[in-house]
Structure 1
Amino acid sequence: MKVTSIIIAFILLIIVWLYLDFHLGRRKHLRIVRNQATPILYGNFDIFPHGKELFADYFNEIKHARLHIHILFYIVKNDHFSQEFYSLLKTKAKEGVEVRLLVDRLGSHKVNKKIANELRTAGVQLAFSNRIKLPYLFYSMQVRNHRKISIIDGKIGYLGGFNIGKEYIDQDPKLSPWRDYHLKITGESVPFLQAEFLIDWKEYASEAIMDDSTYILKQPKGHASHQFVPTEAGLLEKKYLELIQHADQTIMIGTPYFIPSRQLLKGLLDALKRGVSITIVVPYTTDHMLVQEASYRYLRSLLQAGAQVYQYKKGFYHAKSIVIDDKICDIGTANFDQRSLFLNKEINCYFHDPVFVERFKDVLQKDILDSRPLTLTDLNKPNLFRSFKEVIAGAVSLFL
């Protein structure tokens, strides 16, 4: 009896500690968060929905770099494709190009000491973002740097959903082909992307950069009007809610994980009530435990209210996008889930250019054609195991 009481007391102590750690850490984070949205800018863009084409272009641009290469990824692995990436960076560093690589401490946990030492010995400057640290260990474990941006010579930028690993070039049998959206950017907005990288680099790297002007090079204007919006600690929820509330006709959402906040779910249901058509594209195949089950209660509510939901079947759907009224298009690193809304550092690109929006809609329509409709009948079929998983997923949805 005494042992049981001790165990129960210990478990309760852990629960209290986790609660206090998370909420005090979040409160501190909210005090220091800053809104860094850029003004409306003009640039030129290519969209890459397939990893093989993206990385052929990406590696080619890196090979031709002459001044500096600045890269931030959430995930970099230790497979043959990642090794090819490392080799390319080491080669450029040995040529005298300044190479900085910033990776998330947990997302890129496979970047081990051996890899880190080899990169640094070759001249690559490597840093890990969002380390787990005191006093809020649990909270700092949850806040990840989910941004994926690259800037080459201050003239070419990349931003989107792809990371570095074999699955992203269709070499994981379960998840192939991998469907995602990644942007290649030129024009006057590239220096703003560069500035965002330098903010993160200064925060996490031991190296002090004294003169940003060396890297932030003025570029000519492009054609597509857009805006970069970095977010963290709840800023993304406000941005998405603003988009949804201003929709008059259509909302189209593409996301691998659909776990909205209460505010966003209410915003979507209110939009349906005022006659807005809502289409949501999610994966048929999942890559993480419980994320699909976590989405079902939200999708049920929206289907019942008249939304259309499609499950992408031609591989794994990891793309992140929102289109509002054919007027605004969002492509970036953020998922439509509570982790991206409240915990992760993200960066999205919001397009206001009607030509680009129409161009992107063609890509999204192709994905819908490669999907199957999800119905209330599908979700309401009796399934005890799925129902159990939905209960568990609902309890931990913020951390999925």
Structure 2
Amino acid sequence: MNHLSNHTAVKEIVVNGKDIAVYSSPKQYKQQLMSLINNADKRIYITALYLQDDEAGREVLHALYQAKQNNPSLDVKVFVDFHRAQRGLIGEQESLGNRALYLKLAEEYQHDIAIYGVAVKRKELFGVLHLKGMVFDDTLFYTGASINDIYLQQHERYRLDRYSAISSEALANSFCQFLDSNFVDSGYAPLLNQPELPTLAEQKKNVVSLKALLKRSNYEVDNTIHSTVLHEQITIQPLVGYGRRGNKLNRTVRQLVQQSEKTLTIFTPYFNLPPVLARDVIKALKRGVSITLIVGDKTANDFYIADEESFSTIGIVPYIYEMLLKRFIKRYQRFIDNGLLNVHLWKHEGNSFHLKGLIADERFHLLTGSNLNPRAWSLDLENGLLLDDVSKQLQEKFTEEVLGILVQTSKINHYSDIESVDDYPEKPHKLLNRIRVTQIDRVLKKFL
């Protein structure tokens, strides 16, 4: 595999191995995030599904405001999902959600920052802002993590993700330009830390216009630095994925699997591969590619409810994912038996797992927030970075990351190693039987 084939010419950003740092823990994530905020001189652009009104979220938001007070010329913009920012956590009563905090802090500080609410669909169920990437001056800090207590391990519990910092003015400019042109200059993403929001009619028009804009949007790249000797460099393609058709991120994921030759590592927190991607994986196994699948155990799912007394319908989600994984392994047990398919389930005490991405032939690294499931494939607005490391400068860094992740995993040798429906507690057992009887699982799978 010399290069991933593309139907259109793609501009790439060139960096060296020393420009990329890989981190491995939520505590390092928080340490880097706070350091980058405190040391930013010209711009801070943060994109996340949500910035939570909890201890860690308040700490980060106060740090952003304080950075602005210390340096009023600092350009501070935060982009979060419009719907998610205006509701409480699942199971909580109706409230202003995180927006209440945004409004409160806007009144406390002299110099304001901008917090934009991005609605990629009219309802959260049908799609959310799932873009990742935070820009601090000329550094892009890329992680699938949002900002709250568990992602930053503010207390004991944590949610593990992947974290990379890339020093590149061209890459940072590309991310900022995309956010400005699509959400700020367009006027389609209202400010959440100002009292007035668009009316329902106005917001409906915003969503329609934004969807049309996003379907033709890409990351713009200044290609003037492309004269470097590429075989000694690392190239980076920033990719956007939105909708079923013309989705460059989805196409790149498929190409990585289709063109892999020796090894492929896939990270996904929720096992529910889109059918076309599942077929690509099977074809890769059949041609002899060794595939390592690293998935979160059902107990490491953020929807998992350990206490059966407080079990609610949403708690069925991790069990559905486990059923799908067991079904997949049972069907392709022969590839585990011959050593080509290696499935590792991550589980560490009461913590959760949120890793995504692919590594192909120890050369191509896809950093992404995409869960590689039908929802990410067709509903949410996603992005990613494809790193082509021809000379394998990054191999040691990413190998160390993977080995650290595997420490908390158990290897599945047979499909019977995974629990069956009959092994589940009474409430999820009964609910799953009802779902299977009514075939609702077919519908659920499209949104999970």
User: How many Å apart are 1:256 and its aligned residue?
Assistant: 0.8
Out of 149, 153, 159, the residue aligned to residue 133 of structure 2 is 149
Report the aligned-residue RMSD: 2.9
Once residues 275 and 223 of structure 2 are traced to their aligned partners in structure 1, the CA distance between those partners, rounded to angstroms, is: 42
Aligned to 2:41: 66
User: How many Å apart are 1:342 and its aligned residue?
Assistant: 1.1
Unaligned 5+ runs, structure 2: 1-7, 87-96, 192-220, 304-314, 336-340
Out of 24, 36, 39, the residue aligned to residue 12 of structure 2 is 39
Out of 286, 289, 292, the residue aligned to residue 301 of structure 2 is 286
1:326 corresponds to 2:362: yes
Check whether the contact 2:120–2:381 (CA below 8 A) recurs between aligned residues: no
Check whether the contact 1:300–1:379 (CA below 8 A) recurs between aligned residues: no
Unaligned 5+ runs, structure 1: 1-34, 208-215
Deviation by residue 1:341-394 (Cα, 9 ceiling, x = unmatched):
111111111121112144212211222232012331134746175553874544
Check whether the contact 1:245–1:267 (CA below 8 A) recurs between aligned residues: yes
1:356 corresponds to 2:394: yes
| Aligned residue identity for 2:163 | H
Once residues 324 and 47 of structure 1 are traced to their aligned partners in structure 2, the CA distance between those partners, rounded to angstroms, is: 17
Deviation by residue 1:139-183 (Cα, 9 ceiling, x = unmatched):
x64221111221123x1211111111000122465xx34321121
1:388 corresponds to 2:375: no
Once residues 222 and 264 of structure 2 are traced to their aligned partners in structure 1, the CA distance between those partners, rounded to angstroms, is: 36
- Cα distance change on mapping 1:132 and 1:365 into 2, 3 Å: same
5 Å matches for 1:137-216? 138=123, 141-153=125-137, 155-171=138-154, 176-187=157-168, 188-202=170-184, 203=186, 204-205=188-189
Aligned to 2:78: 101
Deviation by residue 1:197-233 (Cα, 9 ceiling, x = unmatched):
22343343459xxxxxxxx999989953322112111
Aligned to 2:309: none
| Aligned residue identity for 1:349 | L
User: How many Å apart are 1:292 and its aligned residue?
Assistant: 4.6
Check whether the contact 1:291–1:393 (CA below 8 A) recurs between aligned residues: no
Deviation by residue 1:312-363 (Cα, 9 ceiling, x = unmatched):
1223221112111222111121112111111111111112111214421221
Give the 3-state SS of the residue equivalent to 2:394 in structure 1.
Answer: helix
| Aligned residue identity for 2:373 | D
Deviation by residue 1:282-322 (Cα, 9 ceiling, x = unmatched):
11221123145235335532442412211112232211121
Deviation by residue 1:175-198 (Cα, 9 ceiling, x = unmatched):
x34321121111242222222222
5 Å matches for 1:53-132? 53-95=28-70, 96=72, 97-109=74-86, 110-119=97-106, 122=109, 123-130=112-119
- Cα distance change on mapping 1:159 and 1:292 into 2, 3 Å: farther
Displaced runs of 4+ in structure 1, greater than 6 A? 216-222
Once residues 419 and 32 of structure 2 are traced to their aligned partners in structure 1, the CA distance between those partners, rounded to angstroms, is: 45
- Cα distance change on mapping 1:127 and 1:338 into 2, 3 Å: same
Check whether the contact 2:265–2:360 (CA below 8 A) recurs between aligned residues: yes
Identity %: 18
Give the 3-state SS of the residue equivalent to 1:196 in structure 2.
Answer: helix
Give the 3-state SS of the residue equivalent to 2:343 in structure 1.
Answer: strand
- Cα distance change on mapping 1:185 and 1:389 into 2, 3 Å: farther
Aligned length: 350
- Cα distance change on mapping 1:121 and 1:259 into 2, 3 Å: same
Q: Which moved more, 1:287-296 or 1:331-340?
A: 287-296
Give the TM-score normalised by the residue count of structure 1.
0.78
Check whether the contact 1:38–1:192 (CA below 8 A) recurs between aligned residues: no
- Cα distance change on mapping 1:201 and 1:125 into 2, 3 Å: same
Q: Which moved more, 1:77-86 or 1:140-149?
A: 140-149
